Structure 1
């Protein structure tokens, strides 16, 4: 493990009485200050997810490259030092941290972690060995910084059938990191294919469920569309007796936000008028559907840019962030309940 500065745990206030994770996915940048964290406190946020990246040359290449510094392709906030300092400053404000490493794919064969698929047993063994080196490094970072939760993988849909390998890796991680563990499964069926939920502390779901086939759906339409996923998630909770957390959920500020919520907005469409009402309706339907469920233990909104101002870049205005939009008010109203 690359030497890192140990984060000193400071006094953290008691968690909300309902124990829920009121989270946002924090975007690593080139610095972090107390001013960056103040808006989180005002919005009732009690958790941030920090996301360092590993790199894989291709979907079928059994090699995960670990980058722990802040070189040209990496923000300081994604380096070991940046992760720990951000977590320490968040702790000072009573905000906990979920460390949630992701993989980026390069080259041919896919662009999404769900495309990772080896072509032979030997390559699968090599991939798990390489991925283990990657994820165990971040487990050590999480232990060093006394971070409050750790995600062992994100949307690696074609790997989860290798149950024995994942169970072995979970055992290795638990010997390094002594906090709660989860895995972040994709909404499109992966969350029901994972067989090792019993070995983890809570079920993580990347909750980009499609909720509409048309632009600008009403909240009533969205509430109705949530019912089938709600039943599937509740059945999974009953099967494993584990709480469920949306490790990511979010909506663009566009009329089609509920059609394919996982699709990024067109970054060239800087002159496109935003649709804040549709984004806010999506947030309202989300919280109204899940927050009253006792088995639902929170969510992490995708995503939150430190220091973003109301007159920030136009592409952020179409982006997933709720900052300075009605969606942030909806989020804050629910997050502040039960605190």
Structure 2
């Protein structure tokens, strides 16, 4: 008995390391987050970091970064997947060596990392991945299992607290049994928390949220029909989206994590937030519109008890002067983010 009592603090400390704090109110069964993840999506550097690149993060109130190693799929209808195991031709920051160094540097500065592997599909987005036969589906899920287990084992070895097991794989997530099998395999080797990053058009249809720790959403919700809306319009749209999210959250009784959220610095940022900057080159720039979109999010969804955190797309190790772009770095949106992340609002 004495030995068991001596081990109790160690056990509690271990579980405390893994668990992001949330509570279920007794009788009401409502989740209340006590420590939100104040995140940004870190862009893997093509070359090794010098060490100063993460210095500003804590000043801005950032507590977490998501790191994204890639796998590659040549065609959305072909089941073959390649990743670091198969090629050395990749950016340093997207390799496990780079992920480890970035994680260690972040922890020295009080910033934790989560791991969020993506599939890069040539000429398409991952939501287009769909096989043409049951045989190909079996092959694809076998390949994907090897891919994600590679990173799950790494995450366990290096005590990464959250692993995202897939991102925007919209046409695959309908295959519930296949995903539950992958989740079971991951749980066998990884003891941290897991989520899946569902596209904003996808999350309501997923049936395996009960097997995960967070309902992950790529929160690129359209917030207006026209460019340059006012704050009132954006807030009204967010309040409508919140009600839709809450239906799923209440059904599964899981906290929600915005695995990505972001807006370009253009006047149409709120119309189709997911549109890539290269497709906005003829659109007028507007730091003010980008900042207003940030403000609307923080005044609404950020305040929800069930929201475990958000990760803004995206953050460069070395700031770039690319126009237009999603990053809030050195823009008005950065100050909005800082004021809420640092607890001033």
TM-score by shorter chain over 0.5: yes
2:161 aligned with 1:148: yes
Rounded to whole Å, the distance in 2 between the matches of 1:185 and 1:333 is: 28
2:90 aligned with 1:78: no
Runs of 5+ consecutive residues of structure 2 not aligned to the other structure: 1-16, 22-32
- Per the TM alignment, residue 205 of structure 1 is displaced from its structure 2 partner at its CA by 0.1
2:227 aligned with 1:227: no
TM-score, normalised to structure 1, is 0.88
**Counterpart in the other structure of 1:23:** 39
Which of 48, 52, 58 aligns to 2:65? It is 48
Runs of 5+ consecutive residues of structure 1 not aligned to the other structure: 1-11
**Counterpart in the other structure of 2:289:** 278
**Counterpart in the other structure of 1:295:** 306
Q: How does 1:1-339 map to 2 (within 5 A)?
A: 18-29=34-45, 30-68=47-85, 71-72=88-89, 74-106=90-122, 111-188=124-201, 190-266=202-278, 269=281, 274-308=285-319, 312-313=320-321, 315=322, 317-337=323-343
TM-score, normalised to structure 2, is 0.87
Check 1:268–1:243 CA distance in 2 against 1; reply closer, same or farther (3 A cut): closer
Is residue 197–residue 216 contact of structure 2 (8 Å, CA) maintained in 1? yes
- Per the TM alignment, residue 57 of structure 1 is displaced from its structure 2 partner at its CA by 1.5
What do you get for the CA RMSD once the two structures are aligned?
Answer: 2.1
- Per the TM alignment, residue 338 of structure 1 is displaced from its structure 2 partner at its CA by 8.4
**Counterpart in the other structure of 2:11:** none
Is residue 216–residue 256 contact of structure 2 (8 Å, CA) maintained in 1? yes
Rounded to whole Å, the distance in 1 between the matches of 2:247 and 2:101 is: 39
- Per the TM alignment, residue 175 of structure 1 is displaced from its structure 2 partner at its CA by 1.3
Check 1:236–1:194 CA distance in 2 against 1; reply closer, same or farther (3 A cut): same
